[in-house]
A and B are shown apart, each in its own frame.
Chain A
Amino acid sequence: MKILLVDDSATMRRIQKTQLNNLGIKDIVEAENGDDALDKLYSNMPVDVILMDWNMPVMDGMTCLKKVRENASYKNVKIVMCTSESEKNKVIEAIKAGANNYIVKPFAPEALKEKLGL
């Protein structure tokens, strides 16, 4: 499984990368905002899952999610929003925009495993 990990916080990327490594996932590409993610997605296909933060500078996760879903080439890429945005209306907004799943920070490693369908 190849994962594109998108978060503006280097700390959060390191935490999530360690959790993914512990789940046996080693093929991880990192991006620090939505714009960076679109570049990395284009040059690293096939990507299986995007773990996407919401609040980021340059391009936020919701904008990036919509752009990915506009492109039929990426229709099989699973997108899991991984954010501190905790309200139900945010979850609904993300799912309507094409996210496959949603996980609220902070989360335990078991929750990440479940959201990835492992």
Chain B
Amino acid sequence: MDVTYINPFIRATVETFKTMLNLDLATGTPMLKKDARHSYDISGVIGLSGEAQGIISISFPKVMALKIVSTLLGEEIKIVGSELTDGIGELANIIAGNTKQYLTQFKLSISLPNVVVGSGHRIEVQTGVPTIIVPLKSSLGEFAMEVALKTR
């Protein structure tokens, strides 16, 4: 995976958070992820297919995910339920869809969102495809975006 492909995903994430949540994001240094397990509680995952294949995911601590979806809906969400998972899935969907305009050479299609909940959950990707993790920080907390993209 050419790491420069990470930049369109970062750009789409920053733009989505600004437009939908009026949140400014500080982007940390992208790193190679060594383990499928991570320390977040909820992840929105979108599959990517076309002339490149892989996934993009956004992962949050529970408290931050609740704050984000509460902000989206304009009312406080207190429990991990369908409102929370739907909101996180839709955010992932919008980020993935927006990234496509910057990676037209791959003719990407995006899957419907999948949302994984649980402390220490794992997101497995195709063997041999490196996952790049991007730490992100906002006034609502810290979270991460991950991209694994197999290009020809």
Q: Which residues of A contact B (CB under 8 A)?
A: 8-12, 14-15, 18, 55-57, 83-89, 104-108
Contact = CB atoms under 8 A, between A and B. Distances in A.
Given A11-B73, A55-B110, A107-B19, A87 B104 contact: yes
A116 B98 CA distance: 22
B72 A84 contact: no
B110 to A, nearest CB: 7
Contacts of B20: 15, 106
Contact of A15 (B72, B83, B110): B72
B101 interface: yes
Contact of A9 (B15, B74, B93, B104): B93
Contacts of B16: 106
A8 B89 CA distance: 11
B147 interface: no
The range of chain B's interface size is 20 to 34
A89 B100 CA distance: 11
Interface string B51-90: 0000000000000000001001110000000110011011
B96 interface: yes
Contacts, number: 59
B112 interface: yes
B108 to A, nearest CB: 9
A85 B93 contact: no
Given A10-B82, A11-B83, A86 B100 contact: yes
Contacts of A15: 20, 72-73
B97 interface: yes
B57 to A, nearest CB: 16
A10 B110 contact: no
A114 to B, nearest CB: 15
A12 B90 contact: yes
B129 interface: no
Contacts of A107: 19
A71 B94 CA distance: 31
Contacts of B72: 11, 15
